[in-house]
Amino acid sequence: MTGAQILIECLKREGVEVIFGYPGGQVLPLFDKLYDSDIKFILVRHEQGAAHAADGYSRATGKTGVCLATSGPGATNLTTGIANAYMDSIPMVAITGQVKSFLIGNDAFQEADVTGITRPITKHNYLVKDIKDLARTVREAFLIASTGRPGPVLIDIPSDVQLQDTEFIWPEEVEIKGYKPTLFGHPGQIKKAAKFIVNAKKPVIYAGGGIITSGAHRELKALAEKIQAPVTWTLMGIGCFPATNELSLGMLGMHGTAYANHAITEADLIIAVGARFDDRVTGRTDTFAPGAKVIHIDIDPSSISKNIRVDIPIVGDAKNILGELLEEIKKKADTSAWLKTIDGWKKKFPLKYKDSAGIIKPQYVIEQLWDLTKGDAIITTEVGQNQMWAAQWYKYIKPRTFLSSGGLGTMGFGFPAAMGAKIGCPEKQVIDIAGDGSIQMNIQELATCVCNKINVKVVILNNGYLGMVRQWQELFYKRRYSGVCITSPDFVKLAESYNAVGMRVTKKEDVRAALEKMLKIENTVFVDFHVEPEENVFPMVPAGEAINKMLEGLA
């Protein structure tokens, strides 16, 4: 078989159903073989869209997303999407063409040192110089991408290797000397953790994206209910615990709920699971949970004690460890006084916004969207105020229903990610909550959606600004609005020019009907909501401040 045939055969055996990509000179042999294969190929309009679509597909389905680009500019265009997947630990395999192996290093046309460029933003990467290594490399790449702490793996394949011939040998098992993720927690540490949990009077569970990755949401719920501990989550953890449950505290951190931040600050025990104590969560680290012992469960040992000193580290898969903890915990100290205190905070500091009669408030749009879908939809977001409102005001009840760029904060993520999610879950409503700034970063993917009948909905919260930056300038730079006033095209005409559907809403009373109509249309829909231009996201913890020192705005 040729290298190209081997690659496609390997992808099939890895269960790949769809590839997002863009052709070019150095991947022609691959595209030629793709023509005969039954793997679905989605031609995006920019390689960044391919990487985000593969990412969104992966987040929605739990499978490994695959993207494909040519050498040089094709590969460099993928890098933002790869870095995005790396920061959020998303399993992805990125395949790039490379110039012929004898031209590597000669500054050949469309050559770039792609393994060099992507080294810091991949879990691992490969340059396949010998066709005999190809099948094994693909097998290793999928294994590495999807196990342990998942992440993107890149395979760079020179075009002559794609054309060479060799016998196809499928390696059933691959053994990588330096790669043995720890899946089960240390029994002694689990016993110790159980003892801490049993005695805690003011425990808080702090859950992250690791719960979703490991599929540990049932165990998490069982644990929270068994020990009667409130649960707060990170942006990446949204959906890991039903927001409608009475033990739920919502998101914590910079734009988290006041009650989650107070609970963390007053807690005597933090049970951190699959979360990495990002600075957006902890605020000033020396004031984070000052009176609490910390149990940290994570599959990545390097995440433990990186930002916050941990009392009981447990390395392993969250599902296994939570299962073992549940077995270990028989009875539990009474937490009813603690839950009462928290209830008091919930009543005193609820999430709120000042509604108005005429002007559309962005929070209102999202509330209405929740009311219409009742959590039975996949929401993707762009980055900025739209993202934070989507995190605060929609109630997520299931994992893999909130897809957002957490670690890297990539504007332009939501729309192509929605495309990928819809392909992975065609029966689900997939809705991108966007800002007028962010949507313009990958708006070209409208064509991909329409051509492939990818029926996603885009809710644009249009305020005429790069909203989050404007908010910071308002609060910390004396309203000197530098470089944030952004103009937009006529989104309705734009959508129509791509044969999608466009709608514009300027009055509050029309919001609900527009959303209802949007959900019924069997096509890609852009709804341009003209919202209050200077609305802010509250609560807000200024960067580097303690998380219980929130700006309330409306309090």
Partner 1 sequence: MKHTISVLVENKFGVLARISGLFSARGYNISSLAVSETLDPSISYMTIVVDTKDEQILEQIKKQLNKLIDVITITDFTKKEHVERELVLAKVNCAQKDKAKLEAVLKKYIAKVIQFKNNVAIIEAVGEQEQIQALLTVVAKFGVKELIRTGKIAIER
Applying CB under 8 A, the residues found at the interface with partner 1 are 115-116, 119-120, 123-124, 127, 144, 176-179, 300-302, 304-306
Structure tokens at 283: 């605020």
DSSP string, 460-477: EEE-SB-HHHHHHHHHHS
User: Least distance to partner 1 from the beta carbon of 303, Å?
Assistant: 9
Query: Cα 149 vs. chain centroid, distance in angstroms?
Result: 14
User: Least distance to partner 1 from the beta carbon of 27, Å?
Assistant: 22
Residue 182 or 444: which CB sits closer to partner 1? Answer: 182
User: Least distance to partner 1 from the beta carbon of 301, Å?
Assistant: 5
Query: Cα 134 vs. chain centroid, distance in angstroms?
Result: 30
Three-class SS string for 318-367?
Answer: HHHHHHHHHHHCCCCCCCHHHHHHHHHHHHHCCCCCCCCCCCECHHHHHH
Q: What angle do CA 517, 518, 520 make, to 5 degrees?
A: 65
Residue 140 or 528: which CB sits closer to partner 1? Answer: 140
Instruction: Please tell me the distance from the alpha carbon of residue 402 to that of residue 381, in angstroms, as a whole number.
Output: 8
Residue 124 or 262: which CB sits closer to partner 1? Answer: 124
User: Least distance to partner 1 from the beta carbon of 348, Å?
Assistant: 37
Instruction: Please tell me the distance from the alpha carbon of residue 412 to that of residue 383, in angstroms, as a whole number.
Output: 8
Residue 23 or 407: which CB sits closer to partner 1? Answer: 407
Q: What is the DSSP letter of 185?
A: -
What does residue 32 show for φ and ψ, rounded to 5 degrees? Answer: -65, -40
Residue 158 or 399: which CB sits closer to partner 1? Answer: 158
What does residue 57 show for φ and ψ, rounded to 5 degrees? Answer: -60, -45
Q: What is the DSSP letter of 546?
A: B
User: Least distance to partner 1 from the beta carbon of 2, Å?
Assistant: 24
Instruction: Please tell me the distance from the alpha carbon of residue 28 to that of residue 43, in angstroms, as a whole number.
Output: 14
Residue 294 or 439: which CB sits closer to partner 1? Answer: 294
User: Least distance to partner 1 from the beta carbon of 309, Å?
Assistant: 8
Instruction: Report the 10 Å Cβ neighbour count for 27.
Output: 25
Residue 177 or 347: which CB sits closer to partner 1? Answer: 177
User: Least distance to partner 1 from the beta carbon of 55, Å?
Assistant: 21
Q: What is the DSSP letter of 547?
A: T
Residue 135 or 421: which CB sits closer to partner 1? Answer: 135
User: Least distance to partner 1 from the beta carbon of 124, Å?
Assistant: 4
